[in-house]
Amino acid sequence: MKARDLVSVYRDLLAHYGPRHWWPADTPFEVMVGAVLTQNTSWTNVERALDRLRGVVVLEPRAIVALPVDVLADALRPAGYYNVKERRLRALCQWVVDRGGLETLHRMETRALRTALLGVHGVGPETADDIVLYAFGRPVFVIDAYTRRLFARLGFVRGQETYEGLRARFERALPRDAALYNEYHALIVEHAKTTCRTKPVCDACILRACCRAGSSFGRRGRKRVTVIAGE
């Protein structure tokens, strides 16, 4: 993956959509909650769940941990997988409490913070990186389904790359800059939501090459990617 190609895509997206001012949350802790709830789920459903959650509890780790299981699960219902996400959100909140709160976490070195997050039940690489980047402002590039899909269509991704391998490629090709990674990922999400969403060829796509490459996906959005164009 060539650095100038990645920078070029970024410039095109930024010129078209403008700064996105992400992540859509008021506090770092709200970012953490949203990162769990958005797993395999659209953001509109996450917002419904967040609204319901605010209706039963203040968004603080200790308060959420204190909620009965059925109350928390019911609040998360609109985000889907509510029983799974109840356990995952509770585990994340308990971890924050056990670590001494967000202030303590803010003092951790980036790699240590990321590793610690990956040890929390329900926090995989993408969720950890969402949190590290958007809640803690650290320079890690988030590789989500939108990112894979876009760069597969552009021919930058061959498929089968591991999450860590792909993240490393992006971080090697771009300046180590949290603000840049923040904006880039936000623009990728905006692009995915507005164009190229349901069909492999999209007339409205501003990244014309993105639609020429083509791609195929397995059922339920599994990351089985076929890339026609070369790197």
Q: How far is the CB of 4 from DNA (least distance, A)?
A: 27
202 forms part of the interface with DNA (CB under 7 A): no
Does residue 23 have a cis bond before it (omega within 30 degrees)? yes
Q: How far is the CB of 153 from DNA (least distance, A)?
A: 12
Token digits of residue 31: 């970012």
Cβ proximity to DNA: between 85 and 153 the closer is 85
Of 33, 50, 105, 144, the one binding DNA (CB under 7 A) is 144
Q: How far is the CB of 2 from DNA (least distance, A)?
A: 25
Q: For residues 35, 36, 41 and 47, what is the CA-based torsion angle, rounded to 10 degrees?
A: -70
Q: Estimate to the nearest angstrom the gap between the alpha carbon of 126 and the chain centroid.
A: 6
Q: Is the alpha carbon torsion for 176, 179, 181, 183 positive or negative?
A: negative
226 forms part of the interface with DNA (CB under 7 A): no
If you write DSSP's letter for every residue of 1-12 in order, what string do you get? --HHHHHHHHHH
Of 146, 151, 156, 184, the one binding DNA (CB under 7 A) is 146
Q: Residues 6 or more apart from 17 whose CB is under 8 A from it?
A: 187, 190, 191, 194
Q: What is the C-alpha separation between 57 and 64, in angstroms, rounded?
A: 7
200 forms part of the interface with DNA (CB under 7 A): no
User: Could you say which residues in the range 96-135 bind DNA, by CB under 7 A?
Assistant: 120-128, 130
Binding mask 2-41 for DNA (x = CB under 7 A): ---------------------xx----------x--xxxx
225 forms part of the interface with DNA (CB under 7 A): no
Report CA-CA distances (Å) from 23 to 5, 93, 139, 200.
25, 19, 14, 27
Q: How far is the CB of 197 from DNA (least distance, A)?
A: 7
Of 7, 10, 12, 43, the one binding DNA (CB under 7 A) is 43
Residues that bind DNA (CB under 7 A): 23-24, 35, 38-45, 48, 77-78, 80-85, 120-128, 130, 142, 144-146, 163, 189, 192-193, 197-198, 217, 219-221
